[in-house]
Structure 1
């Protein structure tokens, strides 16, 4: 946030002593700038309307911004208005009266000055970007005043109820009003701010908790995934050639290259149902092979426990005892479906979610069967 700085006294004196412009002189200066880019005409218009900018800046005093910065931003708004002002809408024809007849430059420029000041305050109020929508901008400039008015009228009303009433008045959701009120009520705090008075003491950022896994957990998971992958490939190698071909074509390739039951039935000269039976039997064999305890089992990582049984993915899959699965973690069909959509194979998905490849394959088989039933029903 900019440091507060009052407007320079010399600049202030120039602004306050600048003469007002008459309607005809104003028209000539605007025309000279728009047609020829005359800087002297521009400067005279900007200086003569400096009081209007100064008045708008004083209204923004409650935001703690530098008056010098705000005044300069307001002058930029004046220049932008000068570029866009349409002389044809001034309504200078004799006999015209009222707003409908037209307006002077000051009326048009006031909207540009206010808009530039509002944008400047929104950009510099906080290091965190805020006020990116029309609702947020409205809340930023009106919420606190609305809350104060409601609290003055209903002094015993709880803060939550006050925020809800303010949301109704400002035409927004209570959650939006509550979030903006929290932002406005709490100033930004640097993570580099030291805790305590010692210069070499800890900073606030040192106390932030890192939610990611520790290096030993990451390494342990990688070792476990590699072990699962090698175990799966060894189990697949034990299948007969036809079963191995079906499993590899259905589960161990990227999802874009997965073979359909019809493709495999044509390749082996059998029915689709026969291919499905071969697939189911092969998956059962893989389940049994992967769940057999090794002669000298490797120690489990902290993220795994040995359990007696695993709940079957379908009735077709009977899982042997002493299977190893991640602690307190089941294969999530939604995750499997998501990674399949990304083109990942069953073994890659298993490594990604920390599950047994056979369990992932069982979920994929179940999803395939469900889609097949829906297709037949249709």
Structure 2
């Protein structure tokens, strides 16, 4: 209750703060920039807090406390005051608006969802404009399908339709905790219990990689036991994605396809013998 009362008093004080004339504003900005006059800074920021409050009201639809938005906007206001250059003859309110909006938008993006989003300028534009554009397009003469809507929004904001669909999905509902219980008889099941990953475990991937490398080394060593013709037949028949036929190899080597088959069988026997001789554990692993 005290916080609500303090917040209302703050808003009333901000709305009662007098507007600054152009010359007065310029003088205060110079005093702050050149002499770091804290009183001048206070008067500038107080006179523009109504701008912060108005901006916070525009962003209240994102479901975050308006008081927090006002605080973030005040941070942006102070940043604008620190960077403002009075010699450029630009009104402070015009310059500060960008910093106030940027500070609030950054706060919304950081706190609206536990999933970080809107990291690029295009995604930020999509996040803050999708609802407005969707509402405007929905008020047309004919209702649009989702595909047509996504196309129109993507053209308007210069983003892909896939990004529009993804952002629309994110904005359509709140975050759900993976530890949230599900309504069942046991009462102990959680959402994460039903997220099954069919991929192998990391230790299985590492083990398989090591085994594949070891087998490749075994095969490379065993192939040295073959003569040139046997090696060529084995490579063409067994070690390519599309193995050559017996007839194709027979035509290339100038022998019959039956002779190619016989050489292949003999070469496979030699390979097996070489593998067993060099690696006695091969038979156990092969089994």
State the TM-score, normalized to the length of structure 1: 0.56
State how 1:328-343 maps to structure 2 within 5 Å. none
Cα distance change of structure 1 residues 50 and 285 upon mapping to structure 2, 3 Å threshold: closer
Cα distance change of structure 1 residues 45 and 236 upon mapping to structure 2, 3 Å threshold: same
For the Cα contact (< 8 Å) 2:28–2:44, is it kept in 1? yes
Cα distance change of structure 1 residues 125 and 165 upon mapping to structure 2, 3 Å threshold: same
In 2: Cα distance, 1:164 partner to 1:12 partner: 42
Cα distance change of structure 1 residues 14 and 215 upon mapping to structure 2, 3 Å threshold: closer
In 2: Cα distance, 1:67 partner to 1:215 partner: 45
Asked if 1:115 is matched to 2:102, the reply is yes
Cα distance change of structure 1 residues 287 and 234 upon mapping to structure 2, 3 Å threshold: farther
State how 1:36-75 maps to structure 2 within 5 Å. 36-75=35-74
Deviation at 1:163, TM superposition (A): 2.1
In 2: Cα distance, 1:169 partner to 1:215 partner: 44
Q: Secondary structure of the residue that 1:109 maps to in structure 2? A: helix
Deviation at 1:204, TM superposition (A): 0.7
Deviation at 1:199, TM superposition (A): 9.0
Instruction: Give the structure with the higher percent helix.
Output: 2
Deviation by residue 1:331-369 (Cα, 9 ceiling, x = unmatched): xxxxxxxxxxxxxxxxxxxxxxxxxxxxxxxxxxxxxxx
Asked if 1:312 is matched to 2:240, the reply is no
Name which of 157, 178, 181 aligns with 2:165. Answer: 178
Cα distance change of structure 1 residues 226 and 53 upon mapping to structure 2, 3 Å threshold: closer
Task: Quote the residue 1:254 is aligned against.
Answer: none
Task: Quote the residue 1:23 is aligned against.
Answer: 22
Task: Quote the residue 1:282 is aligned against.
Answer: 231
Cα distance change of structure 1 residues 48 and 218 upon mapping to structure 2, 3 Å threshold: closer
In 2: Cα distance, 1:223 partner to 1:27 partner: 72
Task: Quote the residue 2:285 is aligned against.
Answer: none
In 1: Cα distance, 2:16 partner to 2:10 partner: 10
Asked if 1:142 is matched to 2:129, the reply is yes
In 2: Cα distance, 1:215 partner to 1:33 partner: 59
Name which of 173, 180, 200 aligns with 1:213. Answer: 200
Cα distance change of structure 1 residues 217 and 168 upon mapping to structure 2, 3 Å threshold: closer
CA root-mean-square deviation: 3.7
Deviation at 1:57, TM superposition (A): 0.6
Asked if 1:232 is matched to 2:219, the reply is yes
Q: Secondary structure of the residue that 2:139 maps to in structure 1? A: helix
Deviation at 1:126, TM superposition (A): 1.7
Cα distance change of structure 1 residues 200 and 104 upon mapping to structure 2, 3 Å threshold: same
Task: Quote the residue 1:161 is aligned against.
Answer: 148
For the Cα contact (< 8 Å) 2:178–2:191, is it kept in 1? yes
Gapped runs of 5+ residues in structure 2? 250-259, 269-287
Deviation at 1:26, TM superposition (A): 1.8
Q: Secondary structure of the residue that 1:148 maps to in structure 2? A: helix
For the Cα contact (< 8 Å) 2:236–2:244, is it kept in 1? no
In 2: Cα distance, 1:286 partner to 1:311 partner: 11
Task: Quote the residue 2:82 is aligned against.
Answer: 83
Gapped runs of 5+ residues in structure 1? 91-102, 244-277, 292-309, 324-378
In 2: Cα distance, 1:215 partner to 1:26 partner: 63
Task: Quote the residue 2:139 is aligned against.
Answer: 152
Aligned residues: 249
